[in-house]
Amino acid sequence: MQFLFKTAYNDDIRFLAKTGEKVRVSIVVIFLLAAPLFLQDYYLAELGLLLVYAIAGIGLMLLTGHTGQVSFGHAGFLGIGAYAHSVLLTVGFPFLLSILTSTAIAGLVGMALGRSASKMHGFYLAIATLAFGILIETLFGEWSSVTGGHMGYAVPALQVFGVPLTEVWQQYYVDLLFALFVVVGAANLFRSPTGRSFVAVRDSELSARCLGVNVEWVKIQSFGISAAITGLAGALLAHHLTYLAPDVFGVLESLKLLLMIVVGGLGTILGAILGAIVISLLPVGLSFLKGALPPAIGQTAGLEPLLFGMIIVLVIVFEPAGLYGRWMKIRFFFETFPYYRKSSFVRQKSYLKTERMR
């Protein structure tokens, strides 16, 4: 067991207070920084893609995991970021300005969606966001004068300050830079009033309101920030795809994002990252599986969505806290060995919430 003696309020504000955490995070960051030295291009590109999905996952996590607002249409924001960025680059915007503008556009659309969604709950919210996702996908298809419609849209090559970054490792570092920025920023949110107001709205709108939280405005903010971050991921994703098509940003992609954060563990930034890892490894595992299965099953179309759905269900049934929750248990096991008891993680019975207002 590790005891933490706190001597200043700053200890609670500082990131990574425990030595173990510091070491683990440093190892991961060093690995990521050094990856181009030992990874082949193929794997490096996959790693870059993983980082992009981690960014998108963090975006959705802020909204669904932290503010408690589900979104079945987040691929729409991924698409808005991707298309806006590509179009702006084509028009001649420099890279940084273009990525900033497309992030802002996605954020504004997110705020608009948040405004209409701020009074909805549960099922209605799910349907509204799903409809939004479908609407955006349709828009990409129909607005062909700008998006190229179903013919697709060629993404201009990556070029920063006039320097072409066409090598895989160069693009990888661009992804890494943005990923680190977003991870630190999201963590910052949760050690400051904005992030706390998100969590407050998730856990009890009623008392949040009575403590001075403008619940509708917080939801609009959360939608906005979430959409902006997901839009940023979309802009980076565009460079990986090199060719945009509307159906890339459809309902299945939205489900994939949702799967990521559910598998990783709702409500933590680390959960979003773990989820991104699973999603990135899934196709690899799937191709193994396809080889191993008899062709009649292995070659069936729709195996992937089926697997997605199955994983979501299994996670929700067996480990609602996701991979992050599992990790906490494993760590707790080693820290308290040999005193681990399963009951440490059995939640207390929660008190009745049915008569909320009375």
Ligand X SMILES: Nc1ncnc2c1ncn2[C@@H]1O[C@H](COP(=O)(O)OP(=O)(O)OP(=O)(O)O)[C@@H](O)[C@H]1O
Positions that interact with another protein (CB under 8 A) = 9-10, 12-13, 185-186, 188-189, 191-197, 199-200, 202-204, 206-215, 221, 225, 267, 347-348, 350-353, 355-358
Whether the CB-CB separation of 248 and 133 falls below 8 Å is answered with no
Query: How many whole angstroms separate alpha carbon 358 and alpha carbon 354?
Result: 9
Q: Nearest approach, Cβ of 254 to ligand X (angstroms)?
A: 35
Q: What are the residues facing 85 on neighbouring strands?
A: none
Q: Which does 329 bind (CB under 5 to 8 A by kind): ligand X, Mg ion, another protein, none?
A: none
Q: Which one of Mg ion, ligand X, another protein, none interacts with residue 212, CB within 5 to 8 A by kind?
A: another protein
Determine the size of the site formed for Mg ion (CB under 5 A): 1
Residue 87 CA: distances (Å) to CA of 148, 153, 178:
10, 9, 20
* Sole binder of ligand X in the list 1, 4, 346, 357 (CB under 6 A): 357
Q: How far is the CB of 358 from Mg ion (least distance, A)?
A: 5
Q: Tell me which residue has its CB nearest to Mg ion.
A: 358
10 or 354, CB closer to Mg ion?
A: 354
- From the list 10-18, 43-51, 130-138, 350-358, the region that binds Mg ion by CB under 5 A is 350-358
Q: How far is the CB of 72 from ligand X (least distance, A)?
A: 30
CB of residue 355 to Mg ion, shortest distance in Å? 8
**Would you count residue 358 as binding ligand X (CB under 6 A)?**
yes
Cβ-in-10-Å burial (0-12, 13-18, 19+) of 230 comes to buried
Which pair of tokens denotes residue 171? 């693009």
Q: Are 324 and 268 in contact (CB under 8 A)?
A: yes
Closest CA to 117 of 38, 176, 63, 49: 63
**Count of C-beta atoms within a 10 Å radius of residue 250:** 20
Site pattern 299..338 for Mg ion (x: CB under 5 A)? ----------------------------------------
Are residues 311 and 323 in contact, defined by beta-carbon separation less than 8 angstroms?
no
Least distance (Å) between residue 356 CB and ligand X? 9
Nearer to another protein by C-beta: 339 or 355? 355
Rounded Cα–Cα distance for residues 163 and 140 (Å): 30
Using CB distances below 5 to 8 A depending on partner kind, what does residue 10 bind out of ligand X, another protein, Mg ion, none?
A: another protein
Residues 2, 20: contact at Cβ < 8 Å? yes
Nearest distance from C-beta of residue 356 to Mg ion, angstroms: 11
| Number of chain positions touching ligand X (CB under 6 A) | 2
3-class DSSP assignment, residue 355: coil
Q: How far is the CB of 135 from another protein (least distance, A)?
A: 26
Closer residue to another protein, CB minimum distance, 192 or 336: 192
**Secondary structure (DSSP) of 33-96:** HHHHHHS-HHHHHHHHHHHHHHHHHHHHIIIIIIS----S-THHHHHHHHHHHHHHHHHT--HH
**Which does residue 199 touch among Mg ion, ligand X, another protein, none (CB within 5 to 8 A, set by kind)?**
another protein
Per-residue tokens: 267: 């409500």
> What do you get for the CA distance between the two ends of the chain, in Å?
42
Residues 197 and 331: their CA atoms lie apart, in Å, by 29
The 10 Å CB-count burial string (b at 16+, else e) for 184-214 is eebeebeeeeebebbbbbbebbeebeeeebe
Using the minimum distance from each CB to another protein, give the nearer residue, 142 or 203: 203
Asked if 353 interacts with ligand X (CB under 6 A), we say no
Dig out the tokens for 221 from the structure: 């903010």
Nearer to Mg ion, 296 or 357 (CB): 357
Partner in contact with 107, chosen from Mg ion, ligand X, another protein, none, beta carbon below 5 to 8 Å by kind: none
Instruction: Report in angstroms how near the CB of residue 209 gets to ligand X at its nearest.
Output: 15
Q: Which is nearer to Mg ion, 12 or 355 (CB)?
A: 355
Binding site for ligand X (CB under 6 A): 357-358
Binding site for Mg ion (CB under 5 A): 358
